[in-house]
Amino acid sequence: DAGVIQSPRHEVTEMGQEVTLRCKPISGHDYLFWYRQTMMRGLELLIYFNNNVPIDDSGMPEDRFSAKMPNASFSTLKIQPSEPRDSAVYFCASSSLGGGARGTQYFGPGTRLTVL
Amino acid sequence: DQQVKQNSPSLSVQEGRISILNCDYTNSMFDYFLWYKKYPAEGPTFLISISSIKDKNEDGRFTVFLNKSAKHLSLHIVPSQPGDSAVYFCAASVGTSGTYKYIFGTGTRLKVLA
């Protein structure tokens, strides 16, 4: 299996622009998570889906952030408009409760976002 | 408010010695704990976990200890190797039927010196 795939790996954009991050989870996994990593706050959970349905979006920082999962093999995280404080590494992870051990989460390589 | 805290941002240890990484949590409802390891430019990878019904779990060179009364867990690596140099994240979760999520700490950067 290719693991969790994220694109792009790096994104540099200017303040005010729209940014879309993409994720393909591991086939057969029914949970998908979006995280943001910063030095100050570590790994923060933004939102997670179960069977393509958003379950908990309490970590989404504000209305500028939105996430969708139109099907079991694709999810997007959109920031519009982007701001410099959104600069961080964004990770996508997937898991399956059927995998045991409370469903180990498998992370993608991340997207490093820089907003100038 | 950080529910999972890793108060040491970095740690250096000599090769062959023991590395001890610490983690504190505030939510007494957490019932499952994990450690993830992260190398630069890669995503975190699962290392070891422990359920709240246990106080120790061992996997090769890695052992996790849980002290529920102190709301504290630790990861011991013995012996430490240069390839263990990475950022280690502690995470906790609480399970309610059908849903769960992990709360991660801020990470501890371990450097194992050859």
- Express each pLDDT in A31-82 by its tens digit: 999 999 988 888 999 999 989 999 889 999 889 999 999 999 999 999 999 9
Residue A61: the pLDDT is 87
Distance CA A22, CA A111 (A): 9
Strand stretches in B1-107, DSSP E: 4-5, 10-14, 19-25, 32-38, 45-51, 56-59, 62-67, 72-77, 86-93, 102-104
- Between chains, do B100 and A45 touch, taking CB under 8 Å as contact? no
Locate the chain A residue with the closest alpha carbon to B41. A109
Picking from A56, A107, A108, the nearest residue to B101 by CB comes out as A56
Give the closest-approach CA distance of B39 to chain A in angstroms: 10
Q: Over the stretch B25-47, which tens digit does the pLDDT of each residue have?
A: 999 988 889 999 999 999 999 99
Q: Over the stretch B80-89, which tens digit does the pLDDT of each residue have?
A: 999 999 999 9
- Between chains, do B101 and A91 touch, taking CB under 8 Å as contact? no
Residue B15 has pLDDT above 50, yes or no: yes
Residue B98 has pLDDT above 60, yes or no: no
Residue B95: pLDDT band with limits 50, 70, 90:
low
- Between chains, do B44 and A45 touch, taking CB under 8 Å as contact? no
The answer to whether A115 and A87 have CB atoms below 8 angstroms apart is: yes
Residue A99 has pLDDT above 50, yes or no: no
| Mutation to test the B interface, candidates A30, A38, A97, A102, most B Cβ within 10 Å | A102
User: In sequence order, what DSSP letters do the residues of chain A get, joined into one string?
Assistant: ----EEE-SEEEE-TT--EEEEEEPPTT--EEEEEEEETTTEEEEEEEEETTEEEE-TT--STTEEEEEEETTEEEEEESS--GGG-EEEEEEEE-GGGSTTT--EE---EEEEE-
Residue B1 has pLDDT above 60, yes or no: yes
Residue A101 has pLDDT above 60, yes or no: no
